[in-house]
Amino acid sequence: MLKQGLFPDAHVLPSVIKACAGLLAVKIGKQVHGFSLASGISLDSFVQSSLVHFYVKCDELVDAHKLFDNMVERDVVSWSALAAGYARKGDAVNARKVFNEVKNLGFQPNTVSWNGMIAGFNRSGCFLDAVLMFQQMHKHGFKSDGTSISSVLPAIGDLGYLSSGTQVHGYVIKNGFAVDKCIVSALIDMYGKCGYALEMSQVLEDMGQVEVGACNALITGLARHGLVDKALGVFKELQGQQMELNVVSWTSVIACCSQHGKDIEALELFREMQASGVKPNAVTIPCLLPACGNIAALMHGKAAHCFSLRRGISGDVYVGSALIDMYANCGKIQLARCCFDRMSVRNLVCWNAMLGGYAMHGKAKEAIEFFLLMQRSGQKPDSVSLTSLLSACSQSGLTEEGHRYFDRMTTDHGIKPRVEHYACVVSLLGRAGKLEEAYSMIEKMPFEPDACVWGALLSSCRVHHNMSLGGVAARKLFELEPKNPGNYILLSNIYASKGRYKEVDKIRDIMGDKGLRKNPGCSWIEVKNKVHMLLAGDKSLPQMAQIMEKLNRLSIEMKKAGYSPNTDYVLQDVEEQEKEHILCGHSEKLAVVFGILNMSPGSPLRVTKNLRICGDCHAVIKFISRFERREIFVRDTNRYHHFKDGDCSCGDYW
């Protein structure tokens, strides 16, 4: 229009501004604002009103308020938009102030004004304010409509106010809203959040039709209850019925998988999603990336990264934090840092993701440096940051530094130590061999120690072969987590390392009585864009014969080099030969050898494991890294081990 020499007037401009608001195009909107000032139509009330809306939508409340104050003719619509804008920002004080001023000036808020406030508070997480607004609305004689209800229900759910939720449900039925798709989705979501799984399907059934949004809410609700297979079942059924699935459906089911240990399924669903023609968006990627990180599927993670770059969503803070986390989990700590450095907007989650990465890699020096950078950049750390920092110190044996950060948490950062910080200190002391100090730390704790704290002590006792304190910690853990087989295994490891096989047998009997079995060891490795899962002692593997042959050859070389198998890690009281054989079946060894056989010479191997790496495997993989000239990354449930030239990044401190 401008190019043709036509001059936009006060009738056209509001439409342009509305489009800017819809796209959240702040820069262009401001240019249009400038244009209106220059062309003298900025005093038009339609132009002004649309600009107020534009600034509110873009969260530029200062500009919105300034404009509002200068308006020639203020109206209810702009008043309520401004009030709702503050609510969207979570600024309840200003939201209420502006909202109440409406009445002082003789305006009456209308239903839309109330709804804007409810939706605004809901968006910013001020759930109680949202519910209060809903109640006040009724007190002031307004009847809530479909919009009010679908805005207030998520807030009710997040607060877990089941009785309010049921009341609203009754109101919905009485007023014939039970077929409105937004309301039905919101109701299902509310019941899911309040812990009522059965009600969810009932609401859906009452609607009398299959609606995709409502089904999406059901999938998420089921996943929230851990009913993962049911959630997947609903999804598959919709697929079978040729239901038009949207981006939320796919994202929900991918999130469901990546949050519940079905990582390979999540990757497969992402592929299917793209094949089906539904475009992933800035929410899909942070749901998918944890699946890549969980099993160190670096190629899949990189593909998702490229996808984000192509789609222009790599600057999103959620995408960015998920990328940092993924690269750190895949052993690519430098790439994680590159992503961090390239972000133009960062929040606390991004900083914590990076700090957590350094901790997982046992890079305490980098973690401390990064922690200082964080403060210099004006980002205040929270209790998560401190946990990572302390855990980094404990991983690499920086006992004194760690202790100092712990002591100064409250004075320097205003963060009161929580139970997880105590767990870090217990582990800090315990790993350093100061088991008695660790124990007295537990006794001095101002609150009840939890399983993490006792677990930290037990693991340290495992490292230092301390039977007495190990027994104390284990007994506590048996009370706190009677169904966790890991604690029984750790204690029997201690006994086995001292040759006390009677005790080992006793523990095995107790486990048997309780119906507990050692979690099977399981490792993953990505070879040529495909992720392979290897189970300990897995005989069904097609290449098993080749793997065992290679392992035997390696073991001959190792013995020549003076290595002897560390059979402490075998709990069965069997012959040494048999023990060696059992060690050979450990999933991390299988995965490493599988990688060597199938990946080009010299390329690094990335393995993840569902349990902690075994000491013998650790020694073997160190040897392999030198003998085969391979960098090998193994991430266990505790940290990263980076093997290179016969050494490991953990410095054998674990």
Q: Minimum Å distance from CB 184 to DNA?
A: 7
Taking the complex as a whole, the smallest distance from the CB of residue 316 to DNA amounts, in Å, to 5
The CA distance from 212 to 228, in Å, is 18
**Shortest distance, position 182 Cβ to DNA, whole Å:** 4
Strand partners, 522: 535
Nearest to 99 by CA among 60, 129, 128: 129
CB 630 within 8 A of CB 592: no
Burial of 108 (0-12, 13-18, 19+ CB in 10 A): exposed
CB of 472 to DNA, least distance (A): 38
CB of 365 to DNA, least distance (A): 30
CB of 328 to DNA, least distance (A): 16
Sign of CA dihedral 485, 638, 606, 644: negative
- Closer Cβ to DNA, 120 or 417, answer by number: 120
Residue 351: Cβ within 10 Å count: 25
- In the sheet that holds 640-644, the strands lie side by side as 530-535, 522-527, 605-609, 632-635, 640-644, 647-648
Closer residue to DNA (CB): 186 or 456: 186
If the CB atoms of residues 265 and 316 are measured against DNA, the closer one turns out to be 316
Residue 279 C-beta: closest distance to DNA, Å: 10
Q: Whole-number minimum distance, CB 37 to DNA, in Å? A: 17
- Return the sign of the alpha-carbon dihedral for residues 446, 452, 456, 461: positive
Distance between CA atoms of 572 and 301, rounded to whole angstroms?
Answer: 39
* Distance in Å, CB of 353 to DNA, minimum: 12
> DSSP for 176-203?
T-TT-HHHHHHHHHHHHHTT-HHHHHHH
Residue found by looking up tokens 């669903």 in the block: 269
Give whichever of 183 and 435 is closer to DNA, judged by the CB atom. 183
| Closest to DNA by CB, 213 or 604 | 213
Q: Residue 116's closest CA among 140, 89, 148?
A: 148
**What is the contact surface with DNA in residues (CB under 7 A)?**
9-12, 14-15, 18, 21, 44-46, 49-50, 53, 57, 75-78, 80-81, 84, 110-113, 115-116, 119, 122-123, 145-151, 153-154, 177, 180-183, 185-186, 189, 212-214, 216-217, 220, 247-248, 251-252, 255, 281-284, 286-287, 316, 318-319
Nearer to DNA, 246 or 375 (CB): 246
Give the span between the Cα atoms of 630 and 646, in whole angstroms. 10
Of 576, 570, 569, 586, nearest in space to 621 by CA: 586
Tell me how far, at minimum, the Cβ of 412 lies from DNA, in Å.
Answer: 31
Toward DNA, which CB reaches closer, 66 or 279? 279
Helix (H, G, I), strand (E, B) or coil at 47: helix
Which residues lie across from 526 on neighbouring strands? 531
User: What tokens were used for 236?
Assistant: 């598959």
Give helix then strand counts, H and E, for the chain: 35, 6
Say which residue the tokens 């937004």 belong to: 182
- Nearer to DNA by Cβ, of 212 and 303: the residue is 212
Q: Which is nearer to DNA, 84 or 591 (CB)?
A: 84
- For helices 181-193 and 197-207, the axis angle rounded to 10 degrees is 170
Residues 371, 445, 471: CA angle, nearest 5 degrees:
105
Measured from the CB atom, the residue of 284 and 395 that comes closer to DNA is: 284
Q: How far is the CB of 221 from DNA (least distance, A)?
A: 8
Amino acid symbol at 13? L
Question: Token digits for 409?
Answer: 């948490």
Residue 248 vs 461, nearer CB to DNA: 248
